[in-house]
Structure 1
Amino acid sequence: MTKLDGNERWKSKMLLTEHQEQYQDRHNKALTGRATTEELKMIRDLIMLPHMLTMSNKSLQEARRVPNLYKRYFEQFIQLVMDRISKELFTLRRELKNRNIKVFDDETADGIIYHRYVCRGYEDKFGIVREALRSEISVRLAKYASSIFNPESKESQEQR
């Protein structure tokens, strides 16, 4: 972003057509090619969220099977977590589609989960260590749980 981007005076007729085209070409080139750090985090989340849904679903099935005094509340809690995960997964898929990024399942080798992705014509592999994925899942599930138990703290974090 240059100093002139936020200045409305430079949107007038003073700007020559070829200069505007050069600026737009430079801006468009920045949007092509390799994935940014933010987009790599989105790809990581796209890999992680289905695993979280599977784990939550297994916990839900176990909660339904085991007799417990608070069984109904456990089921409702797990269902709330699954709903939030599904909602985030939906918005993430839509955002990746808007950015022209496609992620494909690939392979698991030596404890590393690899996924192939295509980002605006650039093809690469994204690998994540299984233990790192597990720790990130536990942190994220704790975040979802705390946001359910303390909804006002989540709203105050979003406003910051």
Structure 2
Amino acid sequence: MSKLDGNERWKSKMLLTEHQEQYVNRNKNLQTGRITTEELTMIRDAIMFPYMLTMCDKSLQDLKNSTHLFKQLFEQVIQIIMNYITKDLSKINRELRQRNIKIFSDETHDGIIYHRYVCRGYEDQFGIVREVLRSEISIRFTKYATRILSHLKSEQPI
């Protein structure tokens, strides 16, 4: 039996607004620096998109030097994919800025790409294995290609 059991004031569940504000502020302070899984996904995407743009640019340069029959078509498709990537990258960067998350330069050790990030004062390192990055890039390219093909299929045939 505690000291408060006999006190009738403690039976009501009423909470003063100032105490509620203190409770809410205390919980906010506990979560200020920690990063969520959604934010980690955004960091991964922010790291992945520049690699994708580089790959697209290299493919575009290789295609310009080739004599392929569908050269112009492939160039346009690559350019559309690069536009999608650029839009997604700017959206991710804007969201990271709003959440006060900064990503810094990369280092590579033993096939793992490390990026340092600061999330609301909490500093940590994000590492991604090259093979995982490649598979994520492949999945994302497939999504973009599917998006383009579904758009082409929805148009009326000539």
Give TM-score scaled by structure 1 length: 0.81
Instruction: Report the Cα offset of residue 29 of structure 1.
Output: 2.6
Query: Distance in 2 between the 1:20 and 1:95 partners?
Result: 30
* Alpha-carbon spacing, 1:150–1:30, altered in 2? closer, same or farther (3 Å): farther
Q: How many residues align?
A: 140
Unaligned runs of 5+ in 1: 1-13, 154-160
What's the RMSD between the two structures over aligned residues? 1.9
**Residue number in structure 2 paired with 1:133:** 133
Superposed CA deviations along residues 13-35 of structure 1, whole A, max 9, x for unmatched, are x9743134124314523540111
1:15-34 equivalences under 5 Å are 16-29=16-29, 31-34=31-34
Residue 150 of structure 1 aligns to a residue whose secondary structure is helix
Unaligned runs of 5+ in 2: 1-13, 154-158
Measure the CA separation in 1 of the matches of 2:88 and 2:30.
27
Structure 2 counterpart SS, 1:127: strand
For residues 86 and 30 of structure 2, what CA distance do their matches in structure 1 show?
A: 31
Find out whether 1:145 has 2:145 as its counterpart.
yes
What is the rounded CA distance, in whole Å, between the counterparts of 2:94 and 2:35 in structure 1?
Answer: 16
How far the C-alpha of 1:71 sits from its partner, in A, is: 0.9
**Pair 1:94–1:30, CA change in 2 (3 A):** farther
The match for 1:157 is none
What's the TM-score once normalised by structure 2's chain length?
A: 0.82
* Per-residue Cα deviation, 1:90-134 (whole angstroms, up to 9, x for no partner): 000000000000000131000000000000000000000011101
Structure label with greater radius of gyration: 2
Distance (whole Å) between structure 1 residues aligned to residue 38 and residue 30 of structure 2: 14
